[in-house]
A and B are shown apart, each in its own frame.
Chain A
């Protein structure tokens, strides 16, 4: 099976107030394509650091990090930007839409930075907006949408560049239980359709939706367990 991401003996250290913090102490894990991984752990366990590395927002101190076949562990800032624009889909806890852009324009942002905003790509953005149920809100601004709707825009945006995997950082952290269910259902459906998802969360019931749970503690992998798939999801229209 092809790997979406492969983390090999990765360490990450940084200096904070004169003290060296060892955030990751040699983490090894593999994420095959089509997997749905929940990374869990207490705060300070290194899960955010791992997420930043997987998201190419940072470089590991040592070890190897492969996305698809590309070794991204020591790339330049510009090359990392290109990979973020073309192969990674981000979903954040606080949605992180750009306030002055419309829904459609927000979905297009990664394409814009790839420099390929062709007519076909724009059609695709319409399609994605329809898929997350926002076809009638294309001209709205983020402030005119509810939290759940904003997060759905973010999900559409994360899919626009056909990424190696979707990186979801506490995607339901700001949502009530009903909307949480909606968003998780959407993620389930995407995974069902073959998308790889790596999600960071500290809520057990959210983590339980994943196929596999990786627990971190003090910068090490504590456990890595695959769980039984509990239910089928339905793609929303």
Chain B
């Protein structure tokens, strides 16, 4: 034990003989280790952000949407083109797939809402009471649609915060009626504002909930119907769509992928053309995980390169040191040092260098979060134009230190010390003691 301590004491003494040289050598490893931790922390911060957005869609959910087929497919069909998910599809899915715990049918249209002289163009959403919960909307005043509203096809509606503000800038909207396409709907509630959800993978448009009006889907079906006419550059185009979207909740997360497969098969057998799309947030989550993994590998690669560079720095210095200390090696060999004693002596020095580099690297790595905060603050103060142009992710990312990156980085730094120290140490040990003693 004493001898072991002595070896370390000796190694550190030798290193302190050339403080600047040792410091520069340590710097290589220090930068490598700190960059491993930093890059992983930033990568983790970015992917966590993406994950949060996807989780906003609900990991238990499977979303089926109607997609308008491309015009090549519908060419030659006369009259309005029916497409998308039908009420019978909805029934087929909910009745045949046992793992679905809840199904939420949605029909969306662009409509104009008016109250006295004020008008708002927005999205009319036909839905069921679960809609509020699934999309995480909260009631500000009154109530959301009820089961009774749907059952009785009531002319009731709920306004989103934006719609309410524009139609009723001065009054309480609850209890009043707004006019939508030849009918009046009594307002039963107003929702709180909500941030738009992310559009992901092109299959789900970014949803802005600000200008919505919600009515029972049964009311929409009976009052407005499936046939809609849109005016397009002078000509009219008719479409028949029964459901815009169905959000299905699966009873357990582990069943989600199987269930989505089952739904795909059901729909595929019922539709001749691809006029529907399916979004599985869980799949997106899995994709995000894969992306994250690739990100980590990529970052790890960069960090590994800097660590290798640091290691080469150590090796370079140690080779120089060995040459410089040839005489000392000869003396030690003459006084009874075995080859392995010499190897140990030089290895201890490289390990000491890399442990110091690794430890300081870890400490600085832990400051990742405050430092990014400061950097962001500085850039915002000094270069406000630049920050304006940066993507949202970079503006808001909070790096989070990955716990396993700390032991990993430390372990790597020690390994590098051993690996890159071994060759110079072995060269030192392989010297002929007689030659080494003669060395000037």
B328 within 8 A of A: yes
B118 within 8 A of A: no
CA distance A93 to B339 in the complex (A): 24
| CB of B304, distance to nearest CB on chain A (Å) | 34
CA distance A69 to B333 in the complex (A): 23
Task: Name the interface residues of A93-122: CB closer than 8 Å to any CB of B.
Answer: 96-101, 109-110, 112-115, 117
Tell me which residues across on chain B come within 8 A of A96, comparing CB atoms.
327, 330-331, 334, 437
B338 within 8 A of A: yes
Q: Which stretch in A30-38, A52-60, A127-135, A179-187 binds the other chain?
A: A52-60
Q: Which stretch in A77-85, A215-223, A227-235 binds the other chain?
A: A77-85
B328-A113 in contact (CB<8A) = no
> Assuming A96-B327, A100-B14, is B337 touching A113 (CB within 8 A)?
yes
CA distance A109 to B332 in the complex (A): 8
| CB of B422, distance to nearest CB on chain A (Å) | 19
B335-A109 in contact (CB<8A) = yes
A164 within 8 A of B: no
User: Which single member of B6, B331, B334, B437 contacts A112 (CB below 8 Å)?
Assistant: B6
B334-A114 in contact (CB<8A) = no
| CB of B146, distance to nearest CB on chain A (Å) | 86
B336 within 8 A of A: yes
> Assuming A52-B434, A57-B434, A98-B331, is B2 touching A85 (CB within 8 A)?
no
* Number of residues on chain A facing chain B (CB within 8 A): 29
A117-B2 in contact (CB<8A) = yes
Tell me which residues across on chain A come within 8 A of B10, comparing CB atoms.
100-101
CA distance A83 to B341 in the complex (A): 15
Tell me which residues across on chain B come within 8 A of A84, comparing CB atoms.
333-336
> Assuming A113-B337, A113-B341, A117-B3, is B331 touching A58 (CB within 8 A)?
no
User: Which single member of A57, A58, A115 contacts B3 (CB below 8 Å)?
Assistant: A115
Tell me which residues across on chain A come within 8 A of B336, comparing CB atoms.
81-86, 109-110, 113-114, 161
A77-B338 in contact (CB<8A) = yes
List the A residue with the shortest CB-CB distance to B330: A96
B277 within 8 A of A: no
Q: Mark B396-440, 1 if CB is under 8 A from A, else 0.
A: 000000000000000000000000000000000000011001000
| CB of A182, distance to nearest CB on chain B (Å) | 23
B328-A78 in contact (CB<8A) = no
| CB of A63, distance to nearest CB on chain B (Å) | 19
A90-B334 in contact (CB<8A) = yes
| CB of B428, distance to nearest CB on chain A (Å) | 14
B205 within 8 A of A: no
Tell me which residues across on chain B come within 8 A of A52, comparing CB atoms.
434
B13 within 8 A of A: yes
Known: A85-B335, A117-B6. 18 other contacts (CB 8 A): A77-B338, A81-B336, A81-B341, A82-B336, A84-B335, A85-B337, A92-B437, A96-B334, A98-B332, A109-B335, A110-B335, A110-B336, A113-B332, A113-B335, A113-B336, A114-B336, A115-B3, A157-B335
Binding site for A on B (CB under 8 A): 2-3, 6, 10, 13-14, 17, 327-328, 330-339, 341, 433-434, 437
A-B residue pairs in contact (CB < 8 Å), sample of 10:
A55-B334, A78-B338, A81-B339, A86-B336, A90-B334, A92-B437, A96-B437, A97-B331, A109-B335, A113-B332
